[in-house]
Amino acid sequence: MVKPLIKYAVDALGNKIGALPQSFNDLRKGATIRIDNPQFLDVRTGETYVERKIRENNEFKKRYPGNPIGTVGGITGFADNIKLSPQELIDIKGHAGEEKYRMTSPQLERLKESIANEGYRKADEGGERILIHVREDGVPFITEGNHRMVEAFQSNRPFISADIRYLRGAENVDGPLNPKRIGIDFGEE
């Protein structure tokens, strides 16, 4: 009997950092999301929690245009320490337009130099976690860690760890990081 060949990812220093997954969703086996979405109606407005947070966010965006997310108030889903392939994230925009410069910025070069000198911190855990916010229409934005994500992509790392915050009911909307689409368990519903 022939044993299957297991491919391992290797970090910048040549250390094996884990087996490559069969599919991206294999990275998230056992991952869960915590939902905090009160279902009651507000006695004053008659709105659900999500409806009120969407209205308040729309009001905020009118006062402060140009912010693609609006406020980060109204988080209804929390998914922590989620392993994602950098390939899944490379086309996700940065919260402040970082996608325009993150592939070639001096900050990215300093990060690569730091990794070359000091190693990739927490490599077996997917590095230091990045932060992603998913808007109520299902559109995700990398709010922290754009350069770490690009470095992971350019270095062919098998995964990077992220905390995902679903805003204003986004966990129930289709999009690239919809929990069911990427294999995150809702647990006991």
What does the pLDDT look like over 156-189, one tens digit per residue?
Answer: 999 999 999 999 999 999 999 999 999 998 865 4
- Rounded percentage of the chain residues whose pLDDT exceeds 70: 86
Q: Which residues pair with 35 in a beta bridge?
A: 77
Residue 95's nearest CA partner among 161, 163, 144 is 144
pLDDT of residue 127: 84
**Mean pLDDT for the stretch of residues 8-29:** 59
pLDDT of residue 46: 94
pLDDT of residue 30: 86
pLDDT of residue 35: 94
Confidence grade of residue 116 (pLDDT, cut at 50, 70, 90)? very high
Residue 7's nearest CA partner among 174, 110, 156 is 156
pLDDT tens digits, 72-102:
999 999 999 999 999 999 999 999 999 999 9
| Cα angle 76-44-54, degrees, rounded to a multiple of 5 | 35
pLDDT of residue 109: 96
**Mean pLDDT for the stretch of residues 131-140:** 97
Give dist(CA 188, CA 32) in Å, integer: 10
pLDDT of residue 121: 87
Among the listed ranges 18-27, 34-43, 94-103, 133-142, which one has the minimum average pLDDT value? 18-27
pLDDT of residue 7: 45
Give dist(CA 52, CA 89) in Å, integer: 30
Cβ-proximal residues to 35 (8 Å cutoff; 6+ apart), any chain:
76, 77, 171, 186
Cβ-proximal residues to 95 (8 Å cutoff; 6+ apart), any chain:
68, 69, 133, 141, 142, 143
